[in-house]
Structure 1
Amino acid sequence: MGGPWHFLKKRFADSLNELSLLFHKQMELTW
């Protein structure tokens, strides 16, 4: 039983993932 808390944590992890991916792409572009 995960409930809304589990869902929130998953959403948070997903957005963190996307953020780091974007960040790495920016780094590759600038360097």
Structure 2
Amino acid sequence: FGNYEVRLPLVTLEESDRKQLEEAYAKYKAGEL
């Protein structure tokens, strides 16, 4: 998931896909903290 953290800002995504990734990423970070 380390690479995912670096790549996330670099990828262009559809709006819906981007929101889904942001939600999943937020849950991942919240679960890790």
State the TM-score bracket (shorter-chain normalisation): 0.5 to 0.7
Q: Segments of 4+ in structure 1 off by > 4 A?
A: none
Paired residue type of 1:22: A
Which protein is bigger by CA-based radius of gyration?
1
- Where structure 2 has 5 or more consecutive residues not aligned to the other structure, the ranges are 1-13
- Where structure 1 has 5 or more consecutive residues not aligned to the other structure, the ranges are 1-11
Identity of aligned residues (%): 10
The TM-score normalised by the length of structure 2 is 0.59
Structure with the higher helix share, 1 or 2: 1
CA RMSD of aligned residues (A): 0.3
